[in-house]
Every structure is written in C-alpha cells, then in structure tokens.
Structure 1
Amino acid sequence: MNSEAVGQAMRDVADDLIRPRFRTLADGDVDTKSGPDDLVTIADVEAERALTPLLAAIADQPVVGEEASEADPSLPDVLGTASAAWTVDPVDGTWNFAHGSIDYAVMVAHVEGGDAHSGWILHPETGNLLYGGVDAAVTVTDDSGMVRTVDSVASAPVRPVSDLRGMAVLKFAPDSAAHGLVGLAEDVAEVTPPRMCAGWDYWDIIDGGLDFLLYFRAKPWDHAPGAAICRAAGYAVRHLDGAEYRPGDPGRPFLVAREGEWDALAEAIRARAGEL
C-alpha cells in the first residue's frame, strides 16, 4: 500500500475542495441529514466524490464513503464481505467545520479481511497527517513533509483506573447506561467532553492528552482509521464484551485504552453502565 499516495490525495482534496469553504459557507452550502445537528456541506459531498476515484486508483477496491452510504445504506456491508476496501469520511466533524472550528478532519482507512489495517487522519487547518497500521509505526507528517514517529505505549507501565483521563461519547448510549456512566468521573481522574470529531479524539489519545476513548456508535468511516492507528501505537480497541472492534460490525459500544489497562477500565465501565 502506497501510504504516501493516500496522504497526498487527502491533502490535495482538502486544499482544493474543503479549505476554500472553511468559514466561507453560504446558506445553501449546508443541509441536514438525520436531524438538525447532523449536517452535511457541499465540502463533504464534493470531497468524497473527488477522493473516491483517487483511492480506487491506488488500490482498485470498493470505497465506503459516509455520504455514499447515506444514499445506499447497504454499502458498508462490503466491509465484512470484500477481501479489502476503503472507508472515507470526507469531513469528520462537519458541525465544527460548518461553525468555523478547526476541529475537523479528513479520514481514510484501508480494511483488509474485515479488519482495520491502515488509517490516515488529516487535520487540514494544522497540516498534520496521522498515519499507522499493521506493520507500520505511527507517524505524524506536517505540511512541510517533516515526519515524526510516535512511540508505542505497548511497554508503558500499567496505572490504576483512578489515574486515567479519557473521553466518553454518551449521546448514543441507552438512557440507563448514559445515566450510570455519569458516575465514571468518580472512578477515573477525569472524563472530558467530546470534541465532536473522532479525528481529533484519536489525535488526543495518540498525542498523550487522553488515556482512553469510549464510544457507543461505531460508524466505520469514523473509527476504522483511528482503530488502525491506535493498535499500531499499542492500544487495544475492543467492544466492551472483549471482542475486537471490526469496521463491519457497527453500533456496539467500544473502548480504546492501553493494552495493560483495558480490562480494568472496561470492568469499571460495565459496572457503571449496567446491561448493554
């Protein structure tokens, strides 16, 4: 897989079709999907339309884009059946993008055999590109081309749950679980509010600002890139029942944490959330 070609395609599309719309969107450039907070912009649509053939040219495999899946809800099924496929989130954090916040991202993953194999997360307004995957160390490439390798946490000392700081998205949790998990803040050092952009949540854990991420909805374009990158950096990415996260298995809560800390943290979460 030509990881540099993927990153360059993402940068080119962001520079041509996304960044020129940042803080310049007209009223007719923004629409809603499933609800008033679920936005789509002209940048989402045009960027995905441009990225799809570029990725297919790098590896001729199905491309599962967020906006294409809105039109064809059966499209993500190929992630569990095809030998390999791409996922694309053209503008992750569309609400942030539409409201002028730099906390948005372009995200791509390569899925092989149903598993998140490689992931790319671009932050267009900072120029940083996060990449990692199976047999590929996690790197951050800035817009000048300088590459920094991120150290793995695989051998990091195991800490107690009470020392861990993380982020939990409870918006999609069952009401009883969400109510119970409010108490998680008593078990850990801190639970921070979500950034409303998974592409920045994963940056925060890789960069060391957070120790865990908890999600209750697993759209593949939101999480396959981050799952591949986090595993490459020594994190476990598993559903709360212990099953490994797979992009073709959406909708189940999952936890990202250091391998040695995952079990104890999951136990604390399950105790608070109750039956899931």
Structure 2
Amino acid sequence: MQGRRLATTDELIAIVSPDSDETLERLADWTDEHGIELSTVDVGDDIGGVYDENRATLGVTLGGDGTFLEGIKTFAPRNVPQLGVNTGTLAFLARVEPEDLEDALDETLRGRAEVDSRQQIHVDAPGVDATGINDVMVQQVPPENPIDRKVTRLDVYADDEYVGEFEGTGLAVSTPTGSTGISLSANGPVHYPVNNHTLQIVPLHTHKLGVRPIVVSPETELRIVTQGQASLLVDGGRAHTILSGDDEIVVTGADKLAHVVRTSYDDHFFTAITKKLGWDIRDAEVPPEKRLEQRSTAKSSRRESKGFVERALTVATEAAEAAGEPLCELHGQVESIDQKTDKSDIVTEADHQADRIITTVIRNEYPNHAVFSEESTRQYGTDTDYTWVVDPLDGTGNFAHGNPNYSVSIGLVENGEPIIGVVYVPETGELFTGIAGEGAWRDGDPIATTDRDRLDESMLISGYDPDGLFLSHFYQESRGVRRLGSAALNLCYLASGSADAVWEHDTYPWDIAAGLVIAREAGATISDENGDPFTFSLETGDRSALLGSNGTLHPALLEHMEDGIQSPTQ
C-alpha cells in the first residue's frame, strides 16, 4: 500500500486498551481539529458496527503489542492500514509514543508516512482455521504427572518433500514480524520485518545439535503431523486447540498482508531490539556521524532537496501509484458483476477515489498550484504559472468491461506548456515518465520511438475515430490499426516503440497532457491532421485532432490522410 493514499483518510477507528484514557482524549482532540470522524472500540470487540468499507479508514491501536495484534486481527482482513501507539510497557510492534501522537498523525495525513506490507501466516488444523501476524506454535502438552515425558515429536513436510522429525518441546512457524527472541533461542537469524515475505521454521528446545531454523517462501505448504498430543497456539493464544496423535496441521503464508503504518516518529526496528534485546553492535542512540535521516523524514528531505521539476515528478509518480491501488481493487469487482447499474456505480467510485487521492496529494505538496481534473471542478491556486492536469482513470470503458488497458495520467503544465508527464498502468505496474528537455522513461529505463518510414511496415494505433475513417483508410496500407481505448497509453506506446503512429480525432487536455511530454521526449513528432505543430490547450471547447508518429513516418501518414481523413472544414 502506498503511503500517499493515506492523505485521503476521513475516518479513524481506534482499538483501545485499558489505561489509555489520556491518549484517547488527545486522539479525540486531534480528530475534532482535523474534521475526521473517530470511532472507538475496546480490545476484543467487533468493529462491524462502526466500520464503513466505502470510507478511507485508518486503524489506530492504543496499547501494547497485545492490542496491536488485536488490531491486525481486526484491520488486516479489511485491508485497513494500522498505526500502533504504545501506551503499554514493552512493545516491539506499537512504536509511536503517546507524546508523538499528533505529529505522527499529521505526517500520515499529509501522505508522508510509509506503509510496510507485513507477511501473515495461516493455519488450518482440527478445530482451528486462523490467521496471525506473528507465529504458529506447536508444543508439547505439560503432563499431569511432572515426571512423565515432556517432549513431543513432529513430522514436518515442505510441499511434497519430507523435512524430518523434530524432537523437543515443539516448533514455531513464524513470520519476520514474529518473535525475534524465539529465533535467537534456536541460533536463528534476526529477520528485518519490513516488506520481508518469508516464513521460518524454528525448533524449540531441540534434542539434536544439528537442527537449525529453516526459511521458506510464503507459498510453501508446510504440513506438520503430530506423533502424540500437542498444543497449537496462533499469535500467543488468539487461536488455540489441543491436538491428538496423527493430526495434521497445514501452515502457509496468508493471502492478505497486514499494512502497518510507519512514521518518522517510530522507534525503529534496530533501535527497538537494541533497547529491548541487548543488540550490542550499536548503542540505542545512533551517533551523529553515522546517522541517516530515517524513513519518511529521509524521503521527505530528499524530495525537498531535489530541484523543482525532479521533486514534482516524484510527487506525481507517488500520487499515480497510490491512485492505482483502489483502481486495481475495484477493477477486480467489476469483472465479477453482471448488472450494468452496479458496474456503473463501481466505475464512478473508482474515478472518485483515484481523483481524490491525486488531487489531495498535489494540494498537500503544492497548495498554490491549480489542479484541472476530468473528474472534479478545476481548482485554482495563487500561482497561476502551474496547472496539474489529471485523468484519474483514462480508459473508463475498458475498466468497466474488465479490460486491463486503462491508466492514470498526471501532467504538469507551466504557462500553458506540458513539462512533466506521468502515466501509470495499474494492472501491469508499468510506469511511463517524461520531463521536457530531459528525456522519457519506462520503469526508469530510457525509451525511444521506432525509425520505420514505410506504412506497409508500420503498426498504427487509433484513438477516438467516430466514423471509422482512419481505420478503413489505413488498415490495408499498414500492418494493422489497433484501438486500445486509452489516449494516454496510446502516446506512451508510441514513445516506447510498441507502435509507429497514433491518431486521435478529438482530444481533451487531461487525455494527453502527460502523454505529450513522454512521446515528444522519446522522439515523436506530434501534429494536427494537416501537419501543423500540435498546440496544447487547457480549453475544451473546440475539436483538437492529434497525429503522432515516430517522425520518419510522418510524411507518409500526412500524404495518405489527404483523402477523406481531415476535418470536412479543411
């Protein structure tokens, strides 16, 4: 999950542990001041009565790690990001201290926080079907008679391969977020948990010197077969059962990740284990000469230290990627719906969510700039030199029919001329960027147009072509005319060499502001249908045709267009 997405938060749900009244009062004051709705529930209570899946929600836990784990159990299945505030005594997971609460929330609401995607673990066993973020513990059941046998034997399989027999007090299957202490007790590694999607098998009090922890992928299916009675616990007992001999436990990485919000006010991982586990290769406080600004502060500082154009490109990129997340989520729903009205509602919601994310991010970073979006009223700032031109969902028809050819388009216009372009393709993760005078890139790699100059060797793309004239006129003369349904993507595919020319009968500024920069910087020639240089305009009243090519093909295109393609007024 992209941290920029948190800028649109309009609801907080707090899970509150006992003895957190003072911190809760501060949280309530902050939400009142920012006009954000706050709902609270006690630890262990259901949030179903207050949670609205159609609102941008941030989960907050007030307590220690136990409360944080309850939050994960509640928020992760709903894909709600979670911020942990430590009002307990010992916490590895809830790392924002109460005195930093307001500052951490301000940073989050500005879209400056980060979101760590934490691997979860799923277990299926007799009497248990549960998900956790820490670990699954399989241990011996203490005998009634203290002199009876105190060990257990467990057969472990990884997919179809037999790992072996573990003999001792049991074993743990843990995520990188799980107990570092348990791993260390078995001479295992310290796992840095940030975006670390692995699982670890940790033997407990093994009776063999050669047994060591094993790291596997989250897709690995671990099967654990008990040779006698055993106790199974998930996340310290949030799910628990007693197993009999020959019972089978199946453990895998969970499908859903937990989204943990991290701010520059957090007590960071290596600081936490230094303070709490005696990590002795550094002090709790990092010496100034070795200190790097951390996480959100570092990224924010790097953004501020860049030149205006480079920083603006970073902001636009982060906004586009953040907007792509709800588009992907809602696109999946569209594919499974048959009713036209329901599909229309989802498409409208997709447009709205993506537009709100982008415009909020831009307004946070550049409050004096104008914002011109297809989906919302034009917003004017005090600095009229700069206008952000946004199409939050270019290719709406494709989106509505489950087609992946849609994009997010963000352009920055200076004094009427596009200078920055960002086009993001949520379904493929492709990112096209361009800076006027500096170049164009796909996923960071430079791109350029083709050099073909013959129509019969060229692939063409048609945008809006109401009478089919371009298609009928060029289809036989070329290697094909394709229609993708997204003007922004059309220009990016021209720029990256996936097509040799593009035709748009009519354009709007939000369709092409970003793509124009990318295509031109990749070497494309952009004209109107008569071959005159294309003039970008923020006005939307008059028809504005666009012909783009790799440059060398342009004369052949214009020559062939003379017969029936130009506007009837020409």
- Deviation string 1:112-169 (CA, Å, 9 cap, x unpaired) is 121222110101121111001312321122xxxxx3222x34xx65613333220123
Q: For residue 361 of structure 2, give the secondary structure of its aligned residue in structure 1.
A: helix
Aligned AA (1:272): G
In the TM superposition, what is the alpha-carbon distance from 1:179 to its structure 2 partner?
Answer: 4.1
Q: Work out the CA distance in 1 between the residues paired with 2:407 and 2:523.
A: 23
Q: 2:489 touches 2:515 (CA, 8 Å); kept in 1?
A: no
Report the CA distance shift for 1:140/1:243 in structure 2 as closer, same or farther (over 3 A).
Answer: closer
Q: 2:526 touches 2:534 (CA, 8 Å); kept in 1?
A: yes
Q: 2:321 touches 2:426 (CA, 8 Å); kept in 1?
A: yes
Q: Which residue in 2 is equivalent to 1:51?
A: 358
Report the CA distance shift for 1:82/1:163 in structure 2 as closer, same or farther (over 3 A).
Answer: farther
Q: Work out the CA distance in 1 between the residues paired with 2:539 and 2:526.
A: 13
Return the TM-score normalized by structure 1.
Answer: 0.79
More helix by share: 1
Q: 1:96 touches 1:103 (CA, 8 Å); kept in 2?
A: yes
Q: Which residue in 1 is equivalent to 2:445?
A: 148
- Deviation string 1:145-201 (CA, Å, 9 cap, x unpaired) is xx3222x34xx65613333220123533xx4xx447612223333222x11122332
Aligned length: 248
Q: Work out the CA distance in 2 between the residues paired with 1:247 and 1:254.
A: 12
Q: For residue 122 of structure 1, give the secondary structure of its aligned residue in structure 2.
A: strand
Q: Which residue in 2 is equivalent to 1:214?
A: 503
Q: 2:394 touches 2:408 (CA, 8 Å); kept in 1?
A: yes
Q: Work out the CA distance in 1 between the residues paired with 2:538 and 2:477.
A: 32
Q: 1:240 touches 1:270 (CA, 8 Å); kept in 2?
A: no
Is it true that 1:270 corresponds to 2:567 in the alignment? no
Whose relative contact order is higher, 1 or 2, with alpha carbons under 8 Å and at least 6 apart? Answer: 1
Q: Which residue in 2 is equivalent to 1:20?
A: 329
Aligned AA (1:256): G
Is it true that 1:159 corresponds to 2:472 in the alignment? no
Which piece of structure 1 moves more, 54-63 or 243-252? 243-252
Q: 1:245 touches 1:254 (CA, 8 Å); kept in 2?
A: no
Report the CA distance shift for 1:119/1:180 in structure 2 as closer, same or farther (over 3 A).
Answer: closer
In the TM superposition, what is the alpha-carbon distance from 1:246 to its structure 2 partner?
Answer: 0.3
Q: For residue 403 of structure 2, give the secondary structure of its aligned residue in structure 1.
A: coil
- Deviation string 1:230-251 (CA, Å, 9 cap, x unpaired) is 0000101111131323042552
**Residue 245 of structure 1 is aligned with which of 535, 541, 556?**
535
Q: For residue 214 of structure 1, give the secondary structure of its aligned residue in structure 2.
A: strand
Report the CA distance shift for 1:47/1:179 in structure 2 as closer, same or farther (over 3 A).
Answer: closer
Q: Work out the CA distance in 1 between the residues paired with 2:394 and 2:469.
A: 27
Aligned AA (1:14): G
Q: Percent identity?
A: 22
Report the CA distance shift for 1:186/1:249 in structure 2 as closer, same or farther (over 3 A).
Answer: farther
Q: Work out the CA distance in 2 between the residues paired with 1:180 and 1:135.
A: 32
In the TM superposition, what is the alpha-carbon distance from 1:269 to its structure 2 partner?
Answer: 1.4
- Deviation string 1:76-124 (CA, Å, 9 cap, x unpaired) is 9x8xx94220111111112222222221111101111212221101011
Q: Work out the CA distance in 1 between the residues paired with 2:404 and 2:476.
A: 31
Q: Work out the CA distance in 1 between the residues paired with 2:364 and 2:438.
A: 22
Q: For residue 139 of structure 1, give the secondary structure of its aligned residue in structure 2.
A: strand
Q: Structure 1: which 5+ residue stretches go unaligned? A: 33-38, 142-146
Higher-Rg member (1/2): 2
Is it true that 1:64 corresponds to 2:372 in the alignment? yes
Q: For residue 538 of structure 2, give the secondary structure of its aligned residue in structure 1.
A: coil
In the TM superposition, what is the alpha-carbon distance from 1:263 to its structure 2 partner?
Answer: 3.1
- Deviation string 1:187-220 (CA, Å, 9 cap, x unpaired) is 333222x111223323322332210000011111
Aligned AA (1:22): H
Aligned AA (2:344): D
Q: For residue 354 of structure 2, give the secondary structure of its aligned residue in structure 1.
A: helix
Q: For residue 491 of structure 2, give the secondary structure of its aligned residue in structure 1.
A: helix
Report the CA distance shift for 1:185/1:109 in structure 2 as closer, same or farther (over 3 A).
Answer: same
Q: Work out the CA distance in 1 between the residues paired with 2:498 and 2:442.
A: 16
Q: Work out the CA distance in 1 between the residues paired with 2:553 and 2:342.
A: 44
**Residue 5 of structure 1 is aligned with which of 302, 306, 315?**
315
Q: For residue 101 of structure 1, give the secondary structure of its aligned residue in structure 2.
A: coil
Aligned AA (1:20): E
**Residue 42 of structure 1 is aligned with which of 326, 331, 349?**
349
**Residue 120 of structure 1 is aligned with which of 395, 410, 422?**
422
Q: Work out the CA distance in 2 between the residues paired with 1:44 and 1:91.
A: 6
Is it true that 1:203 corresponds to 2:492 in the alignment? yes
Report the CA distance shift for 1:95/1:158 in structure 2 as closer, same or farther (over 3 A).
Answer: closer
Report the CA distance shift for 1:265/1:84 in structure 2 as closer, same or farther (over 3 A).
Answer: same
Is it true that 1:261 corresponds to 2:563 in the alignment? no
In the TM superposition, what is the alpha-carbon distance from 1:30 to its structure 2 partner?
Answer: 4.2
Report the CA distance shift for 1:195/1:12 in structure 2 as closer, same or farther (over 3 A).
Answer: same
Return the TM-score normalized by structure 2.
Answer: 0.40
Aligned AA (1:13): A
Q: Work out the CA distance in 2 between the residues paired with 1:18 and 1:184.
A: 34
Aligned AA (2:479): A
- Deviation string 1:30-69 (CA, Å, 9 cap, x unpaired) is 438xxxxxx942010121022112123333311111111x
Q: Work out the CA distance in 2 between the residues paired with 1:165 and 1:180.
A: 13
Aligned AA (1:58): E
Q: Structure 2: which 5+ residue stretches go unaligned? A: 1-308
Q: 1:116 touches 1:247 (CA, 8 Å); kept in 2?
A: no
Report the CA distance shift for 1:166/1:8 in structure 2 as closer, same or farther (over 3 A).
Answer: same
